[in-house]
Amino acid sequence: MRFSIIRATSVGALLLVSTTVFSHGLIQEPKSRNQLCGVEIKPDQASGTICEEAFASDHLGGYQFMSVLTHTQGRSVVKQLPERVCGFDSETWNGGPTPWDSAIDWPIVNISAGNRKFTWNISWGSHFEDTEEFRYWITKPDFHFQVGVPLRWSDFESEAFCKLDYDDTNPTGNLKIIPDKDNSLFHTYCDVPERSGRHVIYAEWGRNQWTYERFHGCVDVMFNSGAGSPPIVYDQSVTVKQNENLIVTLTGTDSDGFIEDYQIIQQPSHGTISGTNENRVYTPNVDYVGIDSFMFSATDNENLQSSPATITIEVKQIDTTNRAPNAKFLHKIDNKTIVVDAGTSNDPDGDTLTYAWTFGDNGPTLYGVNANHTYINPGLYDVQLTVSDGQLTDQASQTVNVGVNDSGSVICDYVISEEWDTGFVANIRLTNTGSTIINGWEVYWHYTDGSQVTHHWSSELLGNNSYTATNLDWNKKIAIGQTVEFGFLGTKGSPNIQKLKVSGDICR
């Protein structure tokens, strides 16, 4: 087992293995697109918000909000500018669009001309010692923002309105850059030119010749006389079962401050609301089934109130019909004996299940949640499980290798492709170094620090620490010399990433 930390072209697609130490960062204030939709509202929290549109075509990519990066010297030096502005055709997306290139109606930040502070959060691997410069560009005076129209370089002034150089051997040498090393922040000060109406500021944080790593981002701004803007709250559509309570989290954003309080301004017609601020509980009337709704608004720190938003609730009738069970099983092979376990099978109605096993060699049918069977000859066999609740059945099957594959011929790598304060994206890479094709695989791993897997892709994943991953139909075969990869998103159980061993009959 080997352990690597690498960067990814997208979640689950690896770019390169490198010994370079990466830093990561974004504009925190005024709030950039990836601060609003990324740091403050993550993809799994985006329902009913403008961020849902941003993440619509790249849900998992939204967790890489701190990784909008290239290894270039940026707009001032690059001879052929990339297609996209805010993401600068980021390497993390293999040159494709980031969620923050979406041509949607981004929340705006109120701003006025003159000396303004721009704060970069570089806490995802802070690097002060090799920071070289900060650069800021703004759209031209006649720029007109249009939803659905991507930003173009021709929308922006060709020269940066703010160019700030930094040398960490003399951190106070440029009075317009204040490094806040205790909090992993850079405060930069720029003279913002006169504008009116809505505009976009594009910015870069660049590191020196040791990496030429550069971070890119956009801030959507509105030039005005200094009056604050009210918060924005978001509609939601949710469901709840008949005679059950529903927890509802009210959501909103404030571009130039923060939300102080949420208020219910119209009660539901067929239920009640309890709770305070953004945390509310909806209780439908007894036996009610149908559509209900309530309205709310928010007040910000300037005592400005939002326009109302609506929470639409579908109260669903309890389904009393019998539902089929779900058949699932794990297996392990020792020499020619297979041990099977159907403990992960379940019945949505909680009915008692019976289990029947066939092993693909014309042997007897075995019964019970666990069973073991010894084959006479090596080969590939289809193991089938049938579960029944007395009325309905479900089946699951797996092709198993008995003495066919090179035992322990696969390098099983656990690889971290992205991490932040509370979470991570990881991949497991299975490389066949043997002399025969692997036809079906199953691997295991376990976290000792309380880390949890929350989403996964390219495998069937069972368990709740320990975890067992098995192949899907399209990636069950691993040719000689080939690598198969699957991935997952998780929450950290401790600040430091844990080095893990991946196990399985195929693993070396």
Query: Are the CB atoms for 96 and 114 separated by under 8 Å?
Result: no
**Percentage of residues in the chain having pLDDT higher than 70:** 93
Q: Given a cut of 90, is residue 464 above it in pLDDT?
A: no
The whole-angstrom separation of Cα 255 and Cα 221 is 9
Q: Given a cut of 70, is residue 354 above it in pLDDT?
A: yes
Backbone angles phi, psi at 312, to 5 degrees: -100, 125
Q: How confident is the model at residue 465 (pLDDT cuts 50, 70, 90)?
A: confident
Mean pLDDT (whole number) for 424-435: 89
Q: Given a cut of 60, is residue 403 above it in pLDDT?
A: yes
Please report the pLDDT score of residue 151 as a whole number.
97
Mean pLDDT (whole number) for 105-121: 90
* Structural domains of the chain, with CATH: 3-223 (2.70.50.50), 232-316 (2.60.40.10), 330-402 (2.60.40.10), 410-491 (2.60.40.290)
- Least confident segment among 257-261, 282-286, 309-313, 339-343: 257-261
344 contacts: CB under 8 Å, gap ≥ 6: 328, 329, 330, 462, 463
Mean pLDDT (whole number) for 187-194: 94
Q: How confident is the model at residue 436 (pLDDT cuts 50, 70, 90)?
A: confident
Please report the pLDDT score of residue 404 as a whole number.
57
The whole-angstrom separation of Cα 397 and Cα 381 is 10
How many Å is the Cα radius of gyration of the chain?
Answer: 28
Please report the pLDDT score of residue 408 as a whole number.
65
Query: Are the CB atoms for 188 and 135 separated by under 8 Å?
Result: no
Q: Given a cut of 60, is residue 134 above it in pLDDT?
A: yes
Query: In whole numbers, what is the pLDDT of the chain averaged over residues?
Result: 88
Please report the pLDDT score of residue 126 as a whole number.
65
466 contacts: CB under 8 Å, gap ≥ 6: 444, 445, 446
| Burial readout 374-402 (b: 16 or more C-beta within 10 A, e: otherwise) | ebeeeeebebbbbbbbeeeebebebebbb
Query: Are the CB atoms for 374 and 337 separated by under 8 Å?
Result: yes
The whole-angstrom separation of Cα 479 and Cα 418 is 28
123-127, 128-132, 416-420 — most confident range: 128-132
How far CA 195 is from CA of 191, 227, 292, in Å, comes to 12, 16, 45
Query: Are the CB atoms for 86 and 218 separated by under 8 Å?
Result: yes
User: By 3-state DSSP, what share of the chain in percent is helix, strand and coil, each rounded to 5?
Assistant: 5, 45, 50
Please report the pLDDT score of residue 228 as a whole number.
67
- The structure's pTM equals 0.49
Q: How confident is the model at residue 390 (pLDDT cuts 50, 70, 90)?
A: very high
The pLDDT tens digits for 260-278 are 899 998 999 999 999 999 9
Half-sphere exposure of 501 (CA within 13 A, CB side): 4
Please report the pLDDT score of residue 339 as a whole number.
93
Q: How confident is the model at residue 4 (pLDDT cuts 50, 70, 90)?
A: very low
CB atoms within 10 A of CB 149: 10
Please report the pLDDT score of residue 417 as a whole number.
80
353 contacts: CB under 8 Å, gap ≥ 6: 325, 345, 347, 387, 388, 389
The pLDDT tens digits for 89-108 are 998 898 999 999 999 999 99
Q: Given a cut of 90, is residue 230 above it in pLDDT?
A: no
- Helix (H), strand (E) at residue 332: strand 330-334
Q: Given a cut of 80, is residue 416 above it in pLDDT?
A: yes
Mean pLDDT (whole number) for 63-76: 91
Q: 403: alpha, beta or left, given left = phi > 0 and alpha = psi -120 to 50? A: left
Q: Which residue has the higher pLDDT, 31 or 407?
A: 31
Q: How confident is the model at residue 226 (pLDDT cuts 50, 70, 90)?
A: low
Please report the pLDDT score of residue 8 as a whole number.
35
Mean pLDDT (whole number) for 461-481: 90
Q: Which residue has the higher pLDDT, 73 or 209?
A: 73
- To 10 degrees, the CA torsion angle through 472, 475, 476, 481? -160
Please report the pLDDT score of residue 407 as a whole number.
54
